[in-house]
Every structure is written in C-alpha cells, then in structure tokens.
Amino acid sequence: MDNDKYWIAFSSVVQADSKFILSLYNHFGDIEKAWHSSDLSEINGLTIKQAETFFRLRDKTNVEEKVNMVLDRNLNYITYEDKRYPYLLKQINNAPAMFYYRGDLEGCNLEKTVAVVGSRRATNAAKDILAKIIAQLNQTDICIVSGLAAGIDTVAHQSALQNGLKTIGVIASGHDFIYPTNNRELYRKIASGNGVVLSEYFPTTEPLKFQFPQRNRIVTGLSYGTVVAEASLKSGALISANLCLEQGRELMCIPGLISNPNTEGIYKLLKNGATLVTCAQDILEALGWEIKTGCEQMKLSLGDLPPEQKKILKSIELEPKSFENILSETKLDMENLLISLTELEMMGIIKQIDGEKYTVV
C-alpha cells in the first residue's frame, strides 16, 4: 500500500494523464520519489507549464484522503508495477498508469480476449448478426471486451452474458458515473461476477468527450483482436480500428449493406486487408485459436436434417419467405411442410418474422 497510495494520488490529479505519470515513474524509478520530486526539467518531452501545473495541483492533494475515497467505494485497483497488470495492455503505447475495477478479473481469461466495437446507432441487422456470432462462442473461455456504450457495445456485453462468456467493460469515466445511464443494470451484472468493469480514471472523474477515444486504446489494448460491427468513415469505431492496427493486433470486420452509411468504414477497412467475419469460426481462425464453436456444431446438425427440412432451408437461406412461397419452391405437400416448419422452429433453426414469413436464425 505504501507505493499504491502514490499511484492513486497521481491518478486523482487532473491533467496528470498516464503518459505524464509513467514519464515520471520511468525517470525516477520509484513512484513515491516521482510524487515528491521538485525538479522535472530533465524529463524528455515535459514542458515547464506541465511541470508547474502538476506541482500546483499536487500541493493541494491530500494523499490519504484520495486513498480513503477509493477504499470507501470498495474499488479494486491494479497499478503499472503490479504483477497482475495485464501483459497485453503493458505492450501498448501510452498504457494506463493504473486502473480501478469492479468484478472478477481472475475469472477472465486474458489469454483469449476479443474486442468488439461499433456504432452507437447500429442497425437491428448489425445487432442481430453480432449476437449470432457471439452466440456461436457459447460456453467457451473467450472473453469479450467492449466499451459499455450504447449500440454495438451493449449488444456485445449482453450477448456475452447470455452465452456464458466473461466480458470486460472499459468505461470513459470514473466509477461514480455510469454512462449511458441505461446501462446501469448491465454494469451491475458484469461487475457482480460475470466479468469486469474497469476505468483508468479516478472514481470521481466525469465522462468528458475527449476521454472516450482515450478509453478505446484500452479496449483494443486488452485484446488479441478487434471485431468492428458497423462504422462510418468518421466514428469512434474507426479510431479503435486504427488503434488495433497500431498495436499490432488482428483487425476483423463484419460486413453489412453497402447502402448503409455505417458500413462505409467497414468496407474501407476490408479493402485495406482486415479479415472478413461472418461466423465465429472466422474470428478463431484469424487469431489461431482452436475451439469448437456453435457455428461448426450447427453445420454438423444441419447435415443430419431430413431432405424436406434441407429444402426449406435452401428456399429461405437468402431472404425470408412466406408459407405460400416455400410451398411453391419446395414442392412439398402442405401437411409435410407444416410439420417440417414446426420442427425447425422448435430446434431454433428458423423463426417467423412479420407474422407470416420464415427466416433462418
């Protein structure tokens, strides 16, 4: 705790970001010495104004008070010099000096982490496809990392929870603030043992605009690869994609309708060499992981279906169709068609939409 309290004190100082903190730590070789330093002139890249601002704010900071604020909130934390600090995260440029978290970090497999990023205003189609892909990882030890934001992030976390996967939510504020507020229950579910919610910011830090792109480097930095599900040409998701590449990690994209503005960034990334993802197996192959997924299991089970059911699936594989259209295309009699449709629905392979059309799940 002797050293930890100075890491906490540093993180509580406004304008003392991780890059600044680690510059001092690396220069002095000791976080306590860095906190009590009186001369920062020899530190490369540090301006006189930065040093003066730090000294002014530091002198107003009560170290013990800041530590008690963290302890009173029952927050866990890991500092840069802690042996538990995630290996992958330490490899990135501008790694966080420390982070505060709630949840079960030890229960998350940090050797199999995949980030998911995308539009806050994602289409239902993108959400459905992402949920399907994550469902194919059901009950594996893969950990889904995202930013607990609206849209794609929310679907990624929820789908992970629904399929028995651990998930890590990286927030862009201190733990006193949950943004968006609609995700309070999701925050609680993750932090109650289904994963981890973490932040590099002191608990009282409000969610400011510039902190969201900063947060993205941690989302991708914790992960062996990043999956992008919808991204316009000017979006936070595209920023995350570029961070992923800068960090030397695998970049993967889920395609969508070319008429959707939110896929313009996707197709730009695909043209530049990102891996195309339509199934969980694509993610595993890109990352070199050998795990039997729901995608493979589904292919095996579909191969065992009777001929009537295979005809139905072939009929609706490209687009949803009505009972009459399926009847016409498959040439099945009405009774056999009704029985086969009911059996496929009960197996969860197809479902009805709009009250009258059938589609593949």
CATH number at residue 343: 1.10.10.10
The rounded distance, in Å, linking the Cα atoms of 351 and 74 is 45
- 30's enclosing H/E stretch is none
Of 70, 58, 59, 54, the closest CA to residue 19 belongs to 54
Location of structure tokens 């629905």? 345
The rounded distance, in Å, linking the Cα atoms of 42 and 167 is 42
Residue 298: predicted pLDDT = 54
Calculated CA dihedral for residues 300, 303, 308, 311, nearest 10 degrees: 100
Q: Is residue 297 predicted with pLDDT exceeding 90? A: no
Task: Calculate mean pLDDT across residues 202-222.
Answer: 95
Residue 285 sits in the same domain as residue 312: no
The residue from 291, 321, 350 where one domain ends is 291
The rounded distance, in Å, linking the Cα atoms of 202 and 200 is 7
Query: Inter-axis angle of helices 307-316 and 323-330, to 10 degrees?
Result: 120
The neighbour count for residue 328, using CB atoms within 10 Å, is 12
Residue 295: predicted pLDDT = 53
282 in a structural domain: yes
- The two beta strands, 225-229 and 250-254, are parallel
Residue 280 sits in the same domain as residue 310: no
- CB contact set of 111 (below 8 Å; sequence gap of 6+): none
Q: Is residue 291 predicted with pLDDT exceeding 80? A: no
Q: Is residue 259 predicted with pLDDT exceeding 90? A: no
Query: Inter-axis angle of helices 264-271 and 236-246, to 10 degrees?
Result: 20
Lowest-pLDDT range of 113-117, 162-166, 343-347: 343-347
Name the band, by pLDDT with cuts 50, 70 and 90, for residue 302. low
Residue 63 sits in the same domain as residue 169: no
**Could you report the per-residue pLDDT of 154-204, keeping only the tens digit for each?**
999 999 999 999 999 999 999 999 999 999 999 999 999 999 999 999 999
79 in a structural domain: no
Residue 123 sits in the same domain as residue 58: no
Location of structure tokens 């992030």? 153
Residue type, 223: S
Q: pLDDT over 70 for what percent of the chain?
A: 96
CA-to-CA separations, 261 to 62, 124, 228, 231, in angstroms, rounded: 50, 14, 14, 8
**Could you report the per-residue pLDDT of 14-30, keeping only the tens digit for each?**
778 999 999 999 999 99
192 in a structural domain: yes
90 in a structural domain: no
Location of structure tokens 């603030």? 177
Residue type, 333: D
Residue 223 sits in the same domain as residue 346: no
Residue 29 sits in the same domain as residue 139: no
- 4's enclosing H/E stretch is helix 4-12
Cβ(142)–Cβ(163) under 8 Å? no
Residue 264 sits in the same domain as residue 347: no
Task: Calculate mean pLDDT across residues 233-257.
Answer: 93
Backbone angles phi, psi at 244, to 5 degrees: -55, -45
Q: Is residue 44 predicted with pLDDT exceeding 80? A: yes
Q: Is residue 152 predicted with pLDDT exceeding 90? A: yes
- Across the chain, mean pLDDT equals 92
- Max Cα-Cα span within the chain: 88
What's the structural domain count of the chain?
A: 3
Cβ(159)–Cβ(183) under 8 Å? no
88 in a structural domain: no
Task: Calculate mean pLDDT across residues 243-255.
Answer: 96
Residue 293: predicted pLDDT = 58
Residue 111: predicted pLDDT = 96
What's the CATH code of the domain at 174?
3.40.50.450
Q: Is residue 109 predicted with pLDDT exceeding 60? A: yes
As beta bridge partners, residue 14 has none
Residue 126 sits in the same domain as residue 235: yes
Residue 349: predicted pLDDT = 85
77 torsion bin: left (phi>0), alpha (psi -120 to 50), beta (else): beta
Its domain, for residue 30, covers 4-72
CA-to-CA separations, 108 to 78, 144, 171, 196, 222, in angstroms, rounded: 15, 9, 17, 8, 11
Residue 130 sits in the same domain as residue 259: yes
Of 110, 102, 164, 100, the closest CA to residue 137 belongs to 164
Of 4, 1, 41, 8, the closest CA to residue 23 belongs to 41
The neighbour count for residue 44, using CB atoms within 10 Å, is 6
80 in a structural domain: no
Q: Is residue 73 predicted with pLDDT exceeding 70? A: yes
Residue 24: predicted pLDDT = 96
Task: Calculate mean pLDDT across residues 349-354.
Answer: 84
The neighbour count for residue 153, using CB atoms within 10 Å, is 28
CA-to-CA separations, 85 to 49, 88, 162, in angstroms, rounded: 31, 9, 28
Residue 286 sits in the same domain as residue 311: no
Q: What is the pTM of this model?
A: 0.82
85 in a structural domain: no
The residue from 291, 314, 338 where one domain ends is 291
The residue from 266, 291, 316 where one domain ends is 291
312 in a structural domain: yes
Residue 128 sits in the same domain as residue 184: yes
Name the band, by pLDDT with cuts 50, 70 and 90, for residue 7. very high
Residue 320 sits in the same domain as residue 346: yes
